[in-house]
A = this chain, B = another copy of it.
Amino acid sequence: MSLNPIIDLLGRRLRLAVIGGGEGSFIGAMHRQAARMDDRYDLVAGSLSSKPEKAMRDGLAIGLHENRIYSDAMKMIETEALLPDGADVIAIMTPNDSHYLYAAAALAKGFDVICDKPMTNTLEDAKALHRQVVESGHVFCLMHNYTGYPMVRQAREMVADGQLGIIRLVQIEYVQGGKADENDPDPSGTVPWRYDPVRGGPSLVMGDIGTHAHNLVRFVTGLEVSEVAAEAGTIVPGRLIHDFAGAMLRFNNGARGSFWVTQAAAGVENSLRIRVSGTKGTLEWLQEIPQSLVFKPLRGPAEIRTPNGPGTLPLAARSSRIVKGHPEGFHEAFANIYSDAAEAIAARIAGKKADPLVLFFPNSYDGLMGVRFVHKVIESSLADGKWVLCED
């Protein structure tokens, strides 16, 4: 592979501006590291906080020039659009309720956009944003980072290649323990935005991790959930937000599935696990050991597939930076999405067709499907768990 396909194509790196991600933000640091990992981007501008002092301090701390530091993100969008060396891309890593505002504004000014998930809080915003993206012809990349893992991509390719036959059964779980303690956060204290349904969306657990789980299933299987019967609720007393959701799934090819997400499983770290069974075999992947994809054929011994191991397919191969046996992790998966988006954006800027292999990153359609799924889960849950069509 080329040492740097962006420099090859454009003679320079892409210019990136960020909204959100100041000191104290977990996801902001992830975005910036992902942008640096493969050297596809120069970070040229940022609005890391809406508070002017904090915006300036944090912007300087990450090495931005003071002229390119903004506390008003909307002003950054307008200003950078006019600069001769202004940003090419806007990356949004703010609380969920502002994703739509910034993404729509950035697209309107001609920027490509990288946006954290969930895409929006409301279905209306999701539809409007997806329409705007399609009409704009610009790149919109949604940070469902788990789709960046080499072995998740290998799973997708094996399914698409027919190695599993017809998909019949899917299990997805995303179980965390971060919200298991009822004293954390203290309900009488300052509530972080995630605990506020207005800012964090209609279902915390679904927005936070349910959309990841749903997107992972769609990414690997290539199927859509056509019907869902669900319960989303609150298991830890004294909360306004959902901390678990269970569902049964029916897919558009007739396959069936089980869905379980919670952030209230005490002591569990980050158990995102998927199992996909087709007529010819089963795939199993667990995020906590991401370099192992277990393939259990209908006939023949179970196989442990690894990045760059035997049988690695092209998308998985280009998603790993290292020889087999050396683990990659969260940061590399995140960076794979950023780097693929970079190639798509650079191709658009250069007026060229992007390599089809770079176009597997989640986009606004994926975001729309995710937001709709959240709403359908809630709809079924409110209707005594009855089956609800995942249609508009």
Contacts and interface: CB of A to CB of B under 8 A. Distances in A.
Contact of A302 (B260, B264, B303, B322): B303
A60 to B, nearest CB: 8
Contacts of A176: 325
A325 B386 contact: no
A10 to B, nearest CB: 11
Contact of A301 (B37, B182, B255, B310): B310
A266 B278 contact: yes
Given A3-B23, A247-B248, A262-B277, 13 more contacts: A3-B58, A7-B62, A26-B322, A30-B322, A39-B62, A176-B325, A235-B255, A265-B277, A268-B275, A271-B325, A294-B304, A301-B310, A304-B304
Given A270-B324, A326-B329, A329-B332, A171 B384 contact: no
A52 interface: no
Interface in A123-169: 165, 168-169
A2 interface: yes
A298 interface: yes
Given A3-B58, A386-B385, A168 B63 contact: no
Interface in A285-312: 287-291, 294-306, 309-311
Contacts of A254: 235
B331 A298 contact: no
9 contacts: A7-B61, A177-B296, A177-B298, A231-B256, A246-B257, A267-B281, A303-B304, A329-B329, A384-B387
Given A26-B323, A63-B7, A330-B322, A299 B310 contact: yes
A13 interface: yes
Contacts of A331: 37, 321-322, 328-329, 331-332
Contacts of A310: 299-301
A279 B268 CA distance: 12
A91 B173 CA distance: 40
